[in-house]
Amino acid sequence: MSSGNNNNAARIDTARRVAIFGGTHGNEMSGVTLVNLWMQNSAEIQRKEVDIEPFITNPKAVEKCVRYVDTDLNRAFTQENLSVTGGDELPYEVLRAQEINRMFGPKGTPEAYDVIFDLHNTTSNMGCTLILESSKDAFNLQMMNYIKKAFAPASCLVLLNEHPLLKYSTSRSVAKHPVGLEVGPQPQGVLRSNIFEAMRVILKHALDFIELFNEGRAFNVVPQLMHLAAKL
C-alpha cells in the first residue's frame, strides 16, 4: 500500500488487525464503557476485511474503579517486565502486560497487531488529543490528518511524544502503529456523555481511515504536531 501517488511515496502495509484498549487505567470510564459496549455488540466498529478486537486491558482495576492495582499498566511494557519470570509473585499489572504481549504482540515483531488504540480520560481541560510515539510512522501521520479533517470543526490535537532516549512502555506500544487517545475533562470514575461521544466519533473516523487505506485510498498531507520531549 502506498501513502501517496508519486514515486517517492512511502510503502506501507495494510492494517488488518486492530485492537481497541479500554481500562488501561481502571477509573477512566469513557474507554471502559465504549469497549464494554463493543464487546457486547461490535456492529458499530466492524469494517471490511479488518479484524477489530475491543479489549479491557486491566479488568481488576476496572472492577475496583481504580487507576491500577499494583503498578501503572501503562508503564509496564518494558522489555524487562515482558521477559521477567516469577509467576504469581510478580505485580498484577506486570503479569497482565505479559499476557497482553502474548495476545497482541510480541512487541517489536512482525506478528504484532497492526494498530492499537488505547483510550484514556484526563481531568485536565485538554479536549481531544491523539498521542503518537514516532514522527516516522507514516501510517499514523496520515490517519491523524484524516481524523482531524473529519472531526472538524471540533478540535482534535495531535501530540507527538518522542525523544531519542525514550523507551516506550505503554500498553499500545505492543502494536506496529500505536495510538493513544486522551479526552477530557472528566473526573475519575465518572462518565460524561459529551466526552464519551467525542471519543466514540474519533474512533469511528479512525476505523473509517483504516478501511479506506486498505482499499487503496491515497493520503498525502500530514498534520501539524505538538512535540513533547519527555514522557507524559
Compute CA distances 41 → 6, 36, 100, 153, 200, whole Å.
41, 9, 22, 29, 14
- Of the residues 28, 182, 197, 215, only one is catalytic, namely 182
Cα separation, 196 vs 123, whole angstroms = 14
Q: What is the pLDDT of residue 42?
A: 97
Closest CA to 160 of 174, 179, 186: 179
Q: What is the pLDDT of residue 221?
A: 56
Task: Give 17-31 pLDDT, tens digit per residue.
Answer: 999 999 999 999 999
Closest CA to 176 of 94, 122, 119, 107: 107
Q: What is the pLDDT of residue 228?
A: 43
Which sign does the torsion angle of CA 47, 53, 58, 61 carry? Answer: positive
Run of H or E residues at 95: helix 92-104
Task: Per residue of the chain (232 residues), give pLDDT as tens.
Answer: 444 444 445 568 899 999 999 999 999 999 999 999 999 999 999 999 999 999 999 999 999 999 999 999 999 999 999 999 988 889 999 999 999 999 999 999 999 999 999 999 999 999 999 999 998 999 999 999 999 999 999 999 999 988 777 777 999 999 999 999 999 999 999 999 999 999 999 999 999 999 999 999 877 656 555 544 333 3
Among this protein's residues, is 182 annotated catalytic?
yes
Q: What is the pLDDT of residue 28?
A: 98
Q: What is the pLDDT of residue 223?
A: 53
